[in-house]
Amino acid sequence: MIQLFYKEKGKISISQSLSFLDELGMDDLLWVDLFEPNGEEKRAVELFLDTSLSSRAQAEEIESSSRYSETETTVSVNTNFLIPGPDEYSMETVSFILVEGIIVSIRNVQLRSFTDVQRRIQINSKLYPTGYHILIAIIENRIDLDADMIELMVKEIDNYSKKVSAGKDVNEEFLLDINQLQENTMMVRENVVDKQRMISYIMKSDKFPMDIYNKLSVINRDIVSLINHTNFSFERLDYLQNTVLGLINLEQNRIMKIFTFVSLILMPPTLIASIYGMNVVLPLAGGVWDFIIVITLMIIALMTVVMIFKKRRML
């Protein structure tokens, strides 16, 4: 699907017709948003802008030259957008190509950042005179969403911390939940760092309008604060994980202590029972009181072991 954002009588209009591209000039077009584009749509945009668009494989490469590159006429940017799920998060790579103030975006999933910016463009088109401003607006919106996501994760960490303090449901499943939250935190941090790299490349460029650089400095400071926050959150999760492991180990040790104690206190009575179970002549045997004598010896042995454990504070 293709969406064309173009200037018309001082406002921004939208068209989803590929053929309408032939009626526009370079000065009219502002943004080409390609969502799950087919080959025909890509070729039409490439022909209109006289440039080549990044393939999905090129966009997903992690080399610096693949993430950001410049030529005399174009700026190519590939960056990741985080997609939150019920349990796990995922990354989706989005490509941006800037040609003479026109921005082309290529994506394969619906993203809230794009929807928000598209709505803002129609409300106040004067804030987005070029594709450069649209790119920065999308990144700024994505950083705001990442900040909201981190706030939700912090609340989730607080809930886990309260459960650990109360000792509720602290088990292996709880430990797996913490581990999944650690994975999500690392993905958020990776996503924010990716934006930081992109912002640093843009700040070194001389192709962007001058009024953008002040905003980039503010965005960069926000990114640094988010990275520090994710680092702190990860440290808290690591601490919680160690605490849960300690509590699980204590519980297992308590269970083993009970089994060990039961085995030890039963050893003397078992020994006495084994001795008197032998088919040989034994002292205090051969009378009507044999059973009572053996039981009494077993109880005395049992109480002796219990008293020794209590005296040594092993119970």
Nearest-10 crossing angle of helices 210-276, 131-166: 20
Q: What is the pLDDT of residue 64?
A: 47
- pLDDT value for 8: 79
Phi, psi of 287 (to 5 degrees): -120, 180
Average pLDDT for runs of 10 along the chain of length 315: 81 81 79 85 82 66 64 84 77 86 86 86 83 88 87 84 74 78 84 86 83 85 87 83 77 79 77 69 62 76 77 68
Q: Do residues 190 and 114 lie in contact, with contact meaning Cβ atoms separated by under 8 Å?
A: no
Q: Given this model, what pLDDT does residue 37 score?
A: 81
| DSSP β-bridge partners for residue 13 | 6
User: Which residues pair with residue 86 across a beta bridge?
Assistant: none
Give the Å distances, CA to CA, from 286 to 31, 232, 289, 292, 295.
106, 76, 8, 12, 15
Contact 45, 4 (CB under 8 A): no
- What is the pLDDT at residue 276? 67
Region label for 74, one of left (φ > 0), alpha (ψ between -120 and 50) or beta (otherwise) = beta
Rg of the chain over all Cα atoms, to the nearest angstrom: 35
pLDDT of residue 283: 63
CB 108 within 8 A of CB 35: yes
Which structure tokens are listed for 235? Answer: 């440290």
Sorted by where each starts, the structural domains of the chain and their CATH numbers stand as: 2-248 (3.30.460.20), 277-311 (no CATH)
Long-range contacts of 265-270 (CB under 8 A, 24+ apart): 265/302, 265/305, 265/306, 265/309, 266/302, 267/305, 268/298, 268/301, 268/302, 268/304, 268/305, 269/298, 269/299, 269/301, 269/302
pLDDT at 59: 53
Distances (CA, A) of 190 to 183, 186, 195, 224, 231: 11, 6, 9, 12, 11
